[in-house]
């Protein structure tokens, strides 16, 4: 069947006149695509591919579609720093991002636990910073962390070579996916700091003091007593007051930009990181031992012995004394502004950060780049449902990245056998992610609960003066060790994030200041939400999961619901079309038929099975 494609931006009505828009007509004898731009043509072809029935690939339905993306930023963040994930896993993820019209791959390339990208001229970053093993002096590797053990032959070690990264960029470009590199600073930087200290000692031993100090990242005279959120000490921070730190940033950005240029994907966005630059023992979870009014659940410590980051660095004290920066708390945001100047000087248009890293800046105008983006990651029930609009009003391009809805390192369900953190929410399954309302944050209080399973109240307190740039689903990898676990945690729920990033549902109410939502309100059309979810769940179960399996994705199959009633086993499943099985001995499995419910006694084991019969869910028991 012939396919005719034309790029015709002036032919689109106003509401569809945006990058990524397309019109698709499939008739009995041809496919016609009219696109706003090249990305629109690409997405139209993805829609054609999506309409193919894997069981009958020779036919296409006759259909006419007019479509355009809700958000210009439709992202996935993958943390390869805490635990490394292979190039092959990243390439496979890019394939699926393209299939579901996700267009921003945010790679978290550095953290306390690892540096994952080769930087020419700074070999220690990967010779030492990309490895974890048993070396108390950390001259050959970082100390074992996150269960990585004493050797380097596992998930705790690994990095992308320069050639690997260029290959990833080329692969992504061919699939209309922009790669956004993140080098986290000034906090979450222990791998870089340890590596550059090893470089310093090597060059000092060689008698080259000037070269040794060129890229040093810590002030040797800094005696600050600091504990980070991950319980590291001051070595977790790049000192923002040293010229050598600025040179280091310039060097890294220069080398990464060169990789992007070689790949034909110019570096247009630099992600600074910026999050959690603080001493956790001066935060809300602790109180001074001598406090007059104590809170029972808080930790008692002598806070007089605690310091803000850099508080006892002579170089930072000199910067404060000069009046360049107001106080130590403002240093991370000041450093962000300096890094944005480096990025702008290299022609990089967009500066991006986790929102708390910029909290002491005056607004987007304080940065040198044309645009300043923030990944907004406050949980809604702690105030994020309101404050996100304030960030947009300050001129930032907001990317909704809320942990309680679009973090994929949280468990799928409340079960001790499901891996994942639970500090932001106890669980996030595909249905919860599908029901996320990213433009009307207070609405989510009516359709979900907080991390303790309790309802909460949310109300908009700021006018929505600027629309959000987009949304992003995040996979942090502290608890995700292998590529198989990576795919299990991402798929299939990332498809729900893709749906919300591309399409605004009818059940999403427009945001209005002062409108309050909670479990006790009835402002959301829950019948429409249920009908929409039922449609989506059927599409997943009947069609999309089989496509993931054919692509080699180790996705998560849902665990069946099961109960024994009057001696008969009753089972159901979240995604219609997924086969169900049961066993009365835990070894031999039988297919379940709801029209002929089996009679059972004693313990029964249940699981779900993929269409091919090669993938299975986690097994659980009922009695």
Straight-line distance from the first to the last Cα atom of the chain, in angstroms, rounded to the nearest whole number:
55
Q: Which of 276, 337, 418, 508 is catalytic?
A: 276
In angstroms, the CA 134 to CA 225 distance is: 25
Radius of gyration of the chain (CA): 26
Alpha-carbon distance of 465 to 454, in angstroms, equals 31
Query: Does residue 69 contact residue 501 with C-beta atoms inside 8 Å?
Result: yes
276 annotated active-site: yes
Q: In the block, which residue shows the tokens 């060129």?
A: 214
String of b and e for 209-225 (b: at least 16 CB within 10 Å)?
Answer: eeebebbbbbbeebebe
Q: How far apart (Å, rounded) are the C-alpha atoms in residues 342 and 128? A: 26
Helix axes 87-99, 483-490, angle to 10 degrees: 20
Nearest to 229 by CA among 284, 151, 293: 284
Dist. CA 616–CA 623, nearest whole Å: 21
Peptide bond into 232 cis (omega under 30): no
How far apart (Å, rounded) are the C-alpha atoms in residues 395 and 539?
Answer: 38
Cis upstream peptide for 492 (omega within 30°): yes
- Strands 604-609 and 579-583, by their bridges, are antiparallel
Strand partners, 25: 32, 64
> Which residues are the active-site residues?
276
């Amino acid at each position: 069947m012939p396919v005719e494609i034309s790029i015709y931006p002036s032919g689109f009505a106003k509401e569809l006149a945006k990058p990524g828009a397309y019109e698709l007509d499939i008739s009995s004898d041809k496919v016609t695509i009219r696109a706003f731009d090249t990305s629109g043509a690409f997405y139209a072809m993805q829609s054609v591919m999506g309409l193919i029935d894997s069981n009958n690939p020779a036919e296409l339905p006759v259909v006419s579609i007019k479509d355009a993306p809700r958000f210009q930023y439709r992202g996935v963040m993958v943390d390869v720093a805490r635990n490394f994930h292979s190039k092959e896993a990243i390439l496979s993820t890019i394939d699926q991002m393209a299939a579901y019209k996700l267009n921003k791959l945010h790679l978290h390339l550095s953290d306390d636990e690892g540096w994952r990208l080769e930087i020419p001229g700074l070999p220690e970053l990967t010779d030492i910073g990309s490895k974890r093993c048993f070396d108390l002096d950390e001259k050959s590797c970082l100390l074992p962390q996150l269960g990585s053990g004493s050797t380097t032959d596992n998930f705790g070690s690994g990095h992308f070579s320069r050639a690997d990264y260029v290959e990833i960029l080329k692969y992504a470009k061919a699939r209309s996916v922009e790669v956004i590199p993140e080098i986290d600073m000034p906090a979450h930087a222990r791998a870089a700091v340890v590596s550059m200290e090893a470089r310093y000692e090597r060059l000092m031993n060689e008698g080259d003091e000037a070269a040794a100090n060129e890229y040093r990242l810590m002030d040797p005279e800094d005696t600050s007593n600091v504990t980070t959120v991950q319980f590291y000490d001051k070595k977790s921070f790049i000192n923002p007051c040293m010229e050598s730190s600025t040179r280091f940033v310039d060097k890294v950005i220069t080398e990464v930009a060169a990789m992007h240029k070689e790949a034909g994907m110019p570096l247009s966005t630099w992600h600074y990181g910026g999050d959690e630059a603080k001493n956790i023992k001066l935060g809300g979870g602790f109180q001074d031992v001598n406090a007059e009014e104590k809170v029972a659940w808080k930790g008692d410590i002598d806070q007089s012995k605690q310091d803000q980051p850099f508080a006892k660095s002579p170089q930072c004290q000199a910067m404060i004394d000069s009046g360049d920066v107001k106080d130590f708390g403002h240093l991370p945001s000041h450093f962000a502004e300096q890094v944005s100047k480096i990025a702008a000087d290299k022609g990089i248009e967009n500066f991006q950060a986790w929102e708390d890293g910029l909290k002491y800046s005056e607004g987007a105008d304080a940065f040198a780049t044309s645009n300043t983006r923030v990944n907004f990651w406050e949980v809604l029930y702690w105030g994020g449902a309101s404050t996100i609009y304030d960030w947009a009003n300050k001129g930032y391009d907001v990317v909704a990245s809320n942990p309680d809805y679009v973090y994929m390192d949280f468990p799928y369900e409340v079960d001790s056998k499901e891996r994942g953190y639970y500090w932001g929410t106890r669980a996030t399954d595909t249905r919860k992610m599908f029901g996320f309302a990213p433009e009307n944050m207070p609405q989510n209080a009516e359709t979900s609960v907080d991390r303790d399973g309790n309802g909460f109240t949310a109300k908009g307190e700021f006018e929505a003066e600027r629309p959000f740039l987009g949304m992003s689903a995040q996979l942090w990898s502290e608890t995700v060790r292998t590529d198989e676990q990576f795919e299990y945690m991402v798929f299939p729920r990332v498809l729900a994030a893709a749906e919300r990033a591309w399409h605004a549902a009818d059940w999403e109410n427009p945001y209005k200041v002062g409108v309050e939502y909670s479990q006790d309100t009835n402002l959301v059309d829950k019948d429409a939400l249920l009908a929409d979810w039922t449609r989506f769940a059927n599409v997943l179960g009947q069609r999309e999961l089989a496509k993931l399996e054919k692509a080699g994705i180790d996705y998560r199959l849902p665990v069946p619901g099961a109960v024994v009633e009057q001696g008969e086993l009753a089972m159901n499943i979240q995604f219609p079309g997924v086969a169900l099985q049961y066993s009365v001995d835990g070894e031999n499995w039988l297919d379940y038929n709801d029209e002929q419910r089996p009679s059972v006694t004693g313990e029964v084991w249940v699981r779900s099975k993929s269409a091919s019969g090669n993938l299975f869910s986690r097994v659980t028991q009922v009695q």
